[in-house]
Amino acid sequence: MPTAVRTESDARLSGFREVQRLAYECAEAVAAQLKPGVTERETARMQREWLRERGVRDWFHLPFAWFGDRTAFVNFRIPLQFFPTNRRLEAGMPFILDMAPVYKGFTADIGYSGCLGLNPVHDRLLADLEAHRELILREVRERRPLREIYEDVDRLMVRQGYANRHRAYPFGVIAHKVDQVKERRWSPNVFGFGTQSLKGLASDALHGHRDGWSPLWSPYKFSDHPPRPGLWAVEPHLGFRGTGAKFEEILVVTDSKDPEQSAFWLDDDLPHVRRWAEEKAA
């Protein structure tokens, strides 16, 4: 019986891993095509089309693209400002591609930071994100309340000299739960978010509200609970004077007693992880 459970959950995880890889492939393919003068809207469309061609029909949210100081959400007041604009990419500008495709019923939510040409500040931000990835995993394994982990991430950012920019996301979340969704023939979007996924999130929020947890990992009281088993899309976002950088990937949390198995990153073969390994090797 345990083996059967294992296989079933393994199949489930590999489904998520497949879509996450697909999304990162998309990000790398689109990033490779970016040239000076391309706009955020065009970039978002490129991501959408790339994924549609490969069978993506539904979204947790539609692809976003942020260029220049929009990567650090400078002067963002209302959520509508997250949507891609006609801002053009220039040499040396940082950019972030953020997309959340649903593929065969599995959801991924990824963030990819890059820059066009040389930008030492951006390089430093990306390198400093590694400490956050380690910190989050360590503290989730220690079963610390999510709110405290959030504050520890915040403190690390401040120590590094950065501003917390995931605070700008709706509810200031550093992460949110993702799950499987039903594949429907018609899958409409509301303000860029897929209705199927929103439905899942809303039902999680409802159940969580009854049981004292939340599918949103925020700095607020409703996140003052130990990590809840499931898949969390974690997105620490650093900002430094008009330059922003983030990664976003899925953290698997289980109810296993073994610390190694209680939480782990879904996939360790991702562009930002490879980049850190290369930097260490060099």
Non-local CB neighbours of 66 within 8 Å, separated by 6+ positions: 40, 73, 82, 84, 95, 96, 98, 244
Using rule CB under 8 A, residue 141 touches another protein: no
User: 35, 77, 159, 280: which one contacts another protein (CB under 8 A)?
Assistant: 159
Shortest Å, Cβ 243 to another protein: 9
Shortest Å, Cβ 121 to another protein: 5
- Cα gap 24→92, rounded to integer Å: 22
User: 158, 202, 206, 277: which one contacts another protein (CB under 8 A)?
Assistant: 158
Query: In which residue are the tokens 């403190």 written?
Result: 155
β-bridge mates for residue 143, sequence order: none
Residues 221-250 that bind another protein (CB under 8 A): 240-241
Q: Which is nearer to another protein, 150 or 264 (CB)?
A: 150
Q: Where are the alpha helices (DSSP H) in the chain?
A: 2-33, 40-53, 120-141, 146-160, 195-211, 259-262, 271-281
Q: Which is nearer to another protein, 121 or 198 (CB)?
A: 121
Q: Which is nearer to another protein, 151 or 268 (CB)?
A: 151
Residues 80-119 that bind another protein (CB under 8 A): none
48-to-61, 196, 245 alpha-carbon distances in Å = 11, 18, 21
Which positions touch another protein (CB under 8 A)?
120-121, 124, 154-155, 158-161, 163, 167, 219, 240-241
